[in-house]
Amino acid sequence: MEKNILTSKVTGDSCIHVKHPSGLNIYICEMKGFSTVEALFGTKYGSINTMFKTSEDNEYTTVPEGIAHFLEHKLFENEDCGVFELYAKTGASGNAFTSFDKTCYLFGCSKNYTDNLRILLDFVQKPYFTKENVDKEMGIIGQEIQMTNDNPEWRVFFNMLKCMYHAHPVRIDIAGTKESIAQIDAPLLYKCYNTFYDLNNMVLSIAGNISADEVLAVCDEMLKPCEDKELETVFPDEPDTVVQPEIREKQHIGTTIFHIGYKCKPCSGKERLIKSLKATFAAAILTDASTDMYIRLLESEIINSTFGAEVFCGGGYFSVIFSGESDEPEKVREALLNEVERISHEGVDEKIFQRLKRSTYGLLIRELNNVDAVANLMINSHMDDIAPYDAIDIFPTLTAEDINDFIKNELRSDRVVLSIIEKDGGSP
């Protein structure tokens, strides 16, 4: 079992990568002088993975929306006791999450990290699904779905995605719908578990006050060898166009909120990393508080300090999202469209670009001194098919012209959507 040292060409930071005989990819970052440990055990299985096949299947299997999230909930129960009880005895804080393209189980602790690692590796490899515990979970997740449906921030986001994407499952709530989860049963959960929780499709990331040899000794003890099933996942064909340019909904809220989304061309691997860095730069420039557009909108009270942007991308989807509070979101959209058009012709302000480049680079460097951030960096990089330090090594090479090209070619006026949740006049 060979230890590969992965090192940043720019900063000199390094971590260890091991391909374990069980099939699991393991990333370890020994951070001497730190007092805490963060570990994540994840699988490339999220809400968008609703259609798949393995070498054992003749045809693709299509499963109900929300099943990845449902499975995550059920893994925390086993025949003996709940996982949180085990973590409580060792002083760890455990959690899990399901996103669009991954499911991760994690713990943080300041002591007993080898015991906590054993708990983590044990319960994720021991599914226990019965008709009774699946039926019980159905009601719990149904309530969770209702809560998110009543959440205006959640609604404005998914309404935007439904305006943007015709067929890609990213448009569907991570938890699914009450109708879709009603189709889930124990045999189907085992089918998905045995497909996606194959160690060849998984990764362990651990950082902090640890010893690589101790981590690997626990892995040797706990991991069950798996045969690579040659998993394939597919997505429906997705056109470049948007479904509709605008959607509105009323809720009992104090202030109208909005999401303005630009649908961009999807990509993968290092190409997606480079594109996401460019998009992050573009979004930062367009929302920078020193620009004429921002100052004008702020002084006119069309936006407030909540105005910001993010890049949202993954397997088969890529978008840049601007959001905030405004009683006149249409004017925000108009201002953005005009600013994108102006920059496309005049180019990015070099002073703003250099200032943002320095500040963003400083943030990337500081994250390398944060245990949680390093553990997440390693697992997210593997899930995205890139190396942990690719972003920090590529970032200094970006130029203002790169950002100009992204804004001009990707932020197209015919691929922008506006999602609004309006205050309905009632009490929030």
Model pLDDT, residue 66: 96
pLDDT digits (tens, 9 = 90+) for 53-89: 999 899 999 999 999 999 999 998 766 667 888 999 9
* Count, residues in the chain: 428
How many CB atoms sit inside 10 A of residue 364's CB? 17
Which residue carries 């299509």 as its tokens? 62
Could you tell me if 296 and 266 are in contact, meaning their C-beta atoms sit under 8 angstroms apart? no
Alpha carbon 282 to its chain's center: 20
Backbone angles phi, psi at 344, to 5 degrees: -60, -30
Catalytic choice (38, 65, 72, 77): 72
Which sign, positive or negative, has the C-alpha torsion 276, 281, 285, 287?
positive
Cβ-based neighbours of 217, under 8 Å, separated by 6 or more: none
Q: Work out the pLDDT band at 311, boundaries 50, 70, 90.
A: very high
User: Are the folds of 3-233 and 246-423 the same?
Assistant: yes
Rg value, the chain, Cα: 23
pLDDT grade for 171, boundaries at 50, 70 and 90: very high
Alpha carbons 363 and 375: distance in angstroms, whole number: 16
Confidence (pLDDT) at 76: 83
pLDDT at 425: 64
Reported as a pLDDT band with limits 50, 70 and 90, residue 428 is: very low
* Side-chain half-sphere exposure of 367, counting CA atoms within 13 A: 17
Output 333-341 pairs: Cβ under 8 A, ≥24 positions apart: 333/260, 333/416, 333/418, 335/293, 335/296, 335/297, 335/302, 336/260, 336/286, 336/293, 336/416, 337/413, 337/416, 338/293, 339/286, 339/291, 339/293, 340/286, 340/407, 340/411, 340/413, 341/413
Domain regions of the chain by residue span: 3-233, 246-423
Task: Give the rounded percent of residues in the chain with a pLDDT score beyond 90.
Answer: 90
User: Is the per-residue pLDDT at 11 higher than 70?
Assistant: yes
Task: Tell whether the model's pLDDT for residue 19 goes beyond 70.
Answer: yes
Look at strands 37-43 and 232-233 and give their pairing: unpaired
72 is catalytic: yes
CB distance 9 to 1 below 8 Å: no
For residue range 185-223, list pLDDT tens digits in order: 999 999 999 999 999 999 999 999 999 999 999 999 999
Which CATH architecture fits 246-423?
A: 2-Layer Sandwich (3.30)
pLDDT, position 54: 93
- The architecture of the domain spanning 3-233 is 2-Layer Sandwich (3.30)
Beta carbons of 198 and 23 less than 8 angstroms apart: yes
Per-residue pLDDT reduced to its tens digit, 247-281 = 999 998 999 999 999 999 999 999 999 999 999 99
Q: Give pTM, 2 decimals.
A: 0.94
* Confidence (pLDDT) at 81: 64
Model confidence pLDDT, tens digit, residues 335-356: 999 999 999 999 999 999 999 9
From residue 420, alpha-carbon distances to 86, 290, 320, 326, 327 in Å are 44, 26, 16, 10, 10
Which helix or strand (DSSP H or E) is residue 345 part of? Answer: helix 329-346
- What's the token pair of residue 6? 């992965």
The residue written with tokens 């104090």 in the block is 254
